[in-house]
Amino acid sequence: MLEELIRFTADEADAGHTVRDVLQKRYGVSRRLLIRAKFKGLITRNGQLVFVNEKLQAGDEIAVMVSEDAEETVAPEDMPLTIRYEDDDLMVIAKPSGLVVHPTGNHAGGTLANGVIAYWQKRGEHRRFRAVNRLDKDTSGLLIVAKNQWAHEQFSRMQQERTLHRIYQAIAEGVVESDEGKIDAPIGLAEDSFITRQVRPDGQTAVTHFRVLDRGNGMSHLELKLDTGRTHQIRVHMSSLGHPLAGDDLYGGSREYIGRQALHASRLSFIHPRSGISMELTEPLPADMSHLAATFFTK
């Protein structure tokens, strides 16, 4: 089936420019996606097929539609979803801890993807599940899902240009002495493991910024911002400093006070790819981390 990516009405600034130039320079449509639209979709002007080298006039209505790469194979499963924002291009979901984002060999069903597909199908929407920022199963917080190929490309570009800002809160074991800092340490797979990561000189570049929000009774409450998005990045970096996250027994933390890593995606900020409006969404700490904070930190 065809999926609509872009629809716009040309204004005076677009007049005299080609369809290709406006789509690529104003709307960020990649060359790859434009080729797919030409050969596996439709590009129309005022309801009629148009060539991308034709020049626009003010008032022209342009629509770009593309067929999906493949049929969505994720089965729909009804589940409660906490949707903090949604429009034609994206949705932001508050993911609870314990929920896997996408089906894997060990989690063939019961994932966030299954729930989102069911939600869309109930609304008569047939889309593929495209998570923008991945969260580990036991990490809670805000997650972006792109609702079409164009939006996913725009968010991928934002990640490369570091204009998609992801802020986390974590509770780490021990007292972090520096009020703020930057951890610039490459991360790669640990020896003889397909899951665990470690800081290693031949790993991929990984940069995490941190700021201490509170300290007390052998714990530190941190705010962290990612420049890169390596698997388990915050967990590995904090463990490498000798401050594993509370509950993160994979990287040396104890589960005495909380049953999962105390990590929460608390804030997202970005420029909306279509409207150009600056957006910021926040999500408060979930109950287990709030309880942990209340236990160790006193105001």
Cα angle 111-194-263, degrees, rounded to a multiple of 5: 55
Contacts with 118 (C-beta within 8 Å, 6 or more apart), sequence order: 76, 77, 78, 79
Distance of alpha carbon 179 from its chain centroid, rounded?
Answer: 27
Phi, psi of 144 (to 5 degrees): -95, 135
Q: Compute how many other C-beta atoms are within 10 angstroms of the C-beta atom of residue 197.
A: 23
The two structure tokens encoding residue 145: 């899902």
Q: Which of the following is catalytic: 136, 192, 227, 248? A: 136
Positive or negative torsion for Cα 56, 61, 66, 67: negative
- For residues 22 and 56, the answer to whether their CB atoms sit within 8 Å is yes
Beta bridge partners of 215: 220
User: Torsions phi, psi of 14, nearest 5?
Assistant: -85, -25
Catalytic residue flag (residue 136)? yes
Catalytic residues: 136
